[in-house]
Structure 1
Amino acid sequence: MAQASSQNGPTQASADLPPAMAEIKSSSVDQIFAEMNRMPLFMTTLDETDGEGGENIALEALKALAYEGTRYEIAENFRQQGNECAREKQWNDAKEFYSKAIAALKAPPKEPDPEDEIEEGVRVMEIGDEPELDEEEERRKEAGVEEACYVNRALCNLEKKNYRSSIQDCASTLRLNPSNIKAFYRSGIACLALDKLPEATDACTRGLSLDPENVSLKSLQTKIASRKTYLEGVEKARREREEKAASERATLGLALKARNIKTRTTEQAPDLEDASIKLENPLDPSSTLTFPVILLYPQHSQSDFVKAFSEFDTISQHLEYIFPLPWDTNHEYGVEGVEVYMETLTGGLMKVGKKIKLFKILGSGKCDVTDGLVRMNVVPKAHAEQFIATRKLQSGN
């Protein structure tokens, strides 16, 4: 009897996948990518494990190759990797490779392998062994790599704005080769960035003495000269400001002395912001003086601040626009209904006339201006005796 065939056609036999392929087929896409990332050829991020917390053998073997060979070969390998990173402007990685190259050059030479020696101490030459190195030629090549790594690391530090480190790398370069133009140029740029203009000028001058037509050094020389001119202008303006301020202070002191107005400072000076004792003409001691004045209302713990109280003003002139006070619900404060008191040099109180000009009050010699501020107590007449008694009790007078 004939066997019936399926509607979909005859069934085809499928071959089994190799074990490795079967394992991949059973893995997710993420698992496959993670496994590939542990292979040095496919790495996109550094994974130093085997996926289970162990050592990545392939990666460790690859890293070990970087330290195979002579010191020059190891350093040259790192230098080339540094150059590749620098071309991509990967300054951190480039700097790291140059540093590794320098470290490799400073490492002590490898000790001979005991297996390569016989009992008499004569090295056995095997097939494939390299001939002995020309030590002088090797030192020359090492010096060339070291010079290149220092001057290139100076560039990395320059790009990262590590200016002092860049200057140090340039100095190391020039100790190896006093004629390295790049070292002079990069040192000059770093010194200019730090406003170390004499050093920048020196580096530029030395470089141009070796290569007078160097365009980069000529451009740097122009920038240094421009910066020097700018800083000299800034310094000149600063000196002029200081000289002017000193002259104004001296003129103000002369004006106060001529009016017999005494001043003093304390350790608890208040912040008056831009308010201060000023002359209308800062360089003319005979011009009008103005004072910051604080009007205190001790009975109510309130105050008013007058930033510029002219020496020719009277207290009444200011009270007329300040009154009525918004918080004076009992209407106790009026120009004619208050008295004004100031503290004397001895710590007591003196009553001052509301219609007397300020320069006469301050020039009486009985009071002073403390911390650049004139203090006046404004008290309702009905409370004057109580205020005086309280102040006497507080001062002990």
Structure 2
Amino acid sequence: MVRLEELPEDGEKGTSFSAPTQTGATTEDAFVDDIYDRAVAQGGFTDKSFEEALSDLSKAPLFMTSLEDAGNEENVALEALKALQYEGTKSEAAQNFKEQGNECIQEKKWSDAKVFYTKGIAVLQSKDEAKWDKPEDPEEEQKKRLVLDEQLHVNRARVNLELKNYRSTILDCGTVLKINPSNVKAHYRSASALFALDKVYEALDVCYRGIKLDETNQPMRTLLERIQKRSRVKEEQDRKRRAEQERKKKENLMLITAIKARNIKLRGSHQKRPDMADAEIRLVPDPLSPESTLEFPTMFLYPMHNNSDFIKAFSEKDAIYQHLSIMLPLPWDSKGEYKVNTCECYMDTTSGGIMKVGKKVRLLEILSNDKVEVLDGLVRIHIVPQTLAAKWIDELKKKRGK
């Protein structure tokens, strides 16, 4: 995702400080020494060494370096510190979470920021009013909650955008715009997320609405330019796709018309179709011309030897012997049983029987016969040696009879 120029965050103003330094000592050493000196002056641990005092200090919740410092026993002070974030009214607790989230954003800790914003939202959505302090001014409290609800959702949308949780970004922005339809950040972040999902037209709509709210907003204008550029590309792609769909539709209509005009029967089945790659019934050379010739994918089946050959384009003007002359002799026919003059050709009939067809008859004449059909877009022709034909027909009758 290309970095987007971000709008300023709510409360997102950086703070800085400089700690006093001492000659020959680091800032951290000076800070620790200062704490120790003040503690001694106040009589906190005058009878303890510096190391013992520092050890005790590390057990205080505010100065813990890890949870292990709390020991195995429950640290009551730590639990009390955790509870502080829930003290006060709902708006005060939610404000606390918002501020912590903003601090995480400044440090680009996106996942942590999301946790804090989500907690703030959960506070506002909580139905357990008794858990929070009762506000002195209920009306003012409601106003604060509404403002915080908007800010927490729009801030979490920023985080979700950074984490590439685009759908969550859109949902958060949707919540914001229900509260405040004029929130520019929600428009910007929603448009950014939609753009990332390549929902270009939706992104354009949201971006235009945002520009109307703030015509001088440069990040929004930059985003709009990028979306418009992608929109032009997408429009051209859509135009080509529609043209291709229209062309394909016309080709299919012409193909169906040609097949019906020739009285050829087509039928589909629930059987698994053989893998024919891109082979299909088609009109050549021009699929849009009624004067073109039909071609059919065709399978030569050798049932007495469980073998077959595939012909990708069998013209309606061709006869079977023309293709047999190319196929024969067969590389696996060690006995030389398959020869053009000694083979017979059969096709399945619509009634479930078998019909002998002439090798020198054009395919169109065979297919236009009311007794045969093209199943699953594939012409099937059984090739059987004359010496084995009676045996094959007898076995076929018994098999189909069962």
Q: Does residue 310 of structure 1 match 2:329?
A: no
Aligned to 2:110: 91
Q: Does residue 383 of structure 1 match 2:388?
A: yes
Q: Quick one: which of 284, 291, 305 aligns to 1:286? A: 291
Aligned to 1:338: 343
Distance 1:368 1:82 in 2: 71
Aligned to 1:357: 362
TM-score (norm 1): 0.75
Aligned to 1:262: 265
1:109-139 deviations in Å (ceiling 9; x for gaps): 66779xxxxxxxxxxxxxxxxxx96766666
Report the CA distance between 1:328 and its aligned residue: 1.9
Distance 1:244 1:71 in 2: 63
Report the CA distance between 1:72 and its aligned residue: 4.1
Q: Does residue 212 of structure 1 match 2:198?
A: no
Percentage of matched positions with identical amino acids = 48
Report the CA distance between 1:92 and its aligned residue: 1.9
Aligned to 1:324: 329
Distance 1:225 1:112 in 2: 50
1:256-302 deviations in Å (ceiling 9; x for gaps): 23333222222215143211111112112222222111111111111
Aligned to 1:82: 101
Does the residue aligned with 2:331 lie in a helix, a strand or coil? Answer: coil
> Structure 1 residues 41, 305: CA separation in 2 closer, same or farther (over 3 Å shift)?
farther
Q: Quick one: which of 277, 281, 290 aligns to 1:273? A: 277
> Structure 1 residues 74, 88: CA separation in 2 closer, same or farther (over 3 Å shift)?
same
> Structure 1 residues 302, 206: CA separation in 2 closer, same or farther (over 3 Å shift)?
closer
Match runs of 1:32-43 below 5 Å: 41-43=63-65
> Structure 1 residues 143, 363: CA separation in 2 closer, same or farther (over 3 Å shift)?
closer
Amino acid at match of 1:165: S
Match runs of 1:194-233 below 5 Å: 194=197, 199-233=202-236
TM-score (norm 2): 0.74
Gaps of 5+ in 2: 1-47
Amino acid at match of 1:186: R
Aligned to 1:236: 239
Q: Does residue 153 of structure 1 match 2:151?
A: no
CA RMSD of superposed structures (Å): 3.5
> Structure 1 residues 48, 152: CA separation in 2 closer, same or farther (over 3 Å shift)?
farther
Aligned to 2:78: 59
Q: Does residue 104 of structure 1 match 2:123?
A: yes
Gaps of 5+ in 1: 1-17, 25-31, 114-131
Aligned to 1:181: 184
Q: How many residues align?
A: 348
Amino acid at match of 2:95: E
Does the residue aligned with 1:379 lie in a helix, a strand or coil? Answer: strand
Q: Does residue 162 of structure 1 match 2:165?
A: yes
CA contact 1:295–1:377 (8 Å) conserved in 2? yes
Which deviates more, 374-383 or 338-347? 338-347
CA contact 2:153–2:176 (8 Å) conserved in 1? yes
Report the CA distance between 1:379 and its aligned residue: 0.8
Report the CA distance between 1:214 and its aligned residue: 0.9
Does the residue aligned with 1:305 lie in a helix, a strand or coil? Answer: strand
CA contact 1:40–1:58 (8 Å) conserved in 2? no
The structure with more radius of gyration: 1
CA contact 1:263–1:368 (8 Å) conserved in 2? yes
Report the CA distance between 1:145 and its aligned residue: 3.9
